[in-house]
């Protein structure tokens, strides 16, 4: 049975929580929304016999600190860079899902020497999302807009985290109850913690900064093997 270690350390000015297991070449797993490192609970035991697996909670999520700022993807990528320095880890295979893929893409562009290969899942580059945003797309991806409104999401979601999460997990899964029972309650508990919803909303509220960063180096190629998967 794989032993998964739960740990925290201070890196890039915040307390970061991460899961770690295994030994060997390092792999970093970055979760998406509305998740935490708990999302990798099935992948970690599969990878740990061959790799050193590190799965942090991103800034604003899970048990990592939720400061009032620093949610642009360059800062969030630097969180991971400093975490790896603290852990004494060099080049990694980097895997990002959804919002974590945005962080991963920014990390490999800003720090190419730290990444051996990249996997991005269920993610469209930030600048493309902005470019293609029409009224029709905005209706389909309503939460992109809703989550950016100051204070309102927190006020409406407080005490109703289960209803909010149930919508996303059911709407996005082929089987609406794929994430249920203890797994669902784990997420509800996580997002019911003080500042947790605000942290996730802050991720979305950094969109303007993220778009600007993405446009700066839009023509820069990622000169590493890349695998892009879409469900």
pLDDT tier for residue 31 given thresholds of 50, 70 and 90: very high
In the sheet with 5-11, reading across from the earlier edge strand, the strands are 5-11, 14-21, 52-56, 26-30, 92-97, 115-121, 226-229
Residues 111-125, mean pLDDT to the nearest whole number: 95
Q: Are 73 and 111 in contact (CB under 8 A)?
A: no
| Peptide linkage before 34 cis (omega within 30 of 0) | yes
Q: Are 19 and 4 in contact (CB under 8 A)?
A: yes
Q: Are 127 and 215 in contact (CB under 8 A)?
A: yes
Structure tokens at 99: 């919002």
Distance CA 231, CA 64 (A): 27
Write the pLDDT tens digit of every residue in 147-186: 999 999 999 999 999 999 999 999 988 999 999 999 999 9
Residues 96-112, mean pLDDT to the nearest whole number: 97
Using the predicted structure, report yes or no on whether residue 61 has a pLDDT greater than 90.
yes
Percent of the chain scoring above 90 in pLDDT? 91
pLDDT tier for residue 5 given thresholds of 50, 70 and 90: very high
Looking at residue 130, its pLDDT comes to: 85
Distance CA 42, CA 192 (A): 23
Looking at residue 124, its pLDDT comes to: 84
Looking at residue 88, its pLDDT comes to: 97
How far from the centroid of its chain's Cα atoms is residue 151's Cα? 21
Residues in Cβ contact with 119 at an 8 Å cutoff, skipping those fewer than 6 apart = 93, 94, 95, 96, 104, 226, 227, 228, 229
Give the SS3 label for residue 8.
strand
What separation in angstroms does the CA of 26 have from each of 54, 72, 81, 118, 223? Answer: 7, 25, 13, 12, 19
Write the pLDDT tens digit of every residue in 127-156: 888 898 899 988 988 999 999 999 999 999
pLDDT tier for residue 126 given thresholds of 50, 70 and 90: confident
| Peptide linkage before 36 cis (omega within 30 of 0) | no
């Amino acid at each position: 049975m794989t032993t998964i270690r739960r740990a925290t350390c201070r890196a890039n000015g915040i307390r970061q929580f991460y899961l770690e297991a295994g030994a060997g070449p390092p792999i970093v797993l970055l979760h998406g929304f509305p998740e935490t490192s708990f999302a990798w609970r099935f992948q970690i035991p599969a990878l740990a016999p061959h790799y050193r697996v590190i799965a942090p909670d991103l800034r604003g999520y899970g048990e990592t600190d939720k400061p009032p700022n620093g949610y642009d993807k360059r800062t969030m990528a630097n969180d991971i860079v400093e975490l790896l320095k603290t852990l004494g880890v060099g080049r990694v295979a980097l895997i990002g899902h959804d919002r974590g893929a945005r962080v991963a893409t920014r990390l490999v562009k800003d720090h190419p020497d730290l990444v051996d290969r990249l996997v991005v899942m269920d993610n469209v580059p930030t600048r493309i999302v902005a470019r293609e945003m029409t009224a029709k797309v905005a209706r389909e991806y309503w939460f992109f807009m809703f989550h950016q409104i100051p204070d309102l999401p927190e006020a409406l979601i407080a005490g109703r985290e289960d209803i909010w999460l149930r919508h996303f997990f059911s709407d996005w899964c082929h089987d609406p109850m794929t994430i249920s029972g203890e797994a669902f309650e784990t997420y509800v508990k996580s997002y019911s913690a003080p500042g947790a919803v605000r942290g996730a909303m802050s991720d979305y509220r950094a969109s303007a900064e993220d778009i600007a960063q993405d446009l700066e180096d839009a023509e820069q190629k990622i000169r590493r093997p890349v695998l892009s998967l879409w469900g």
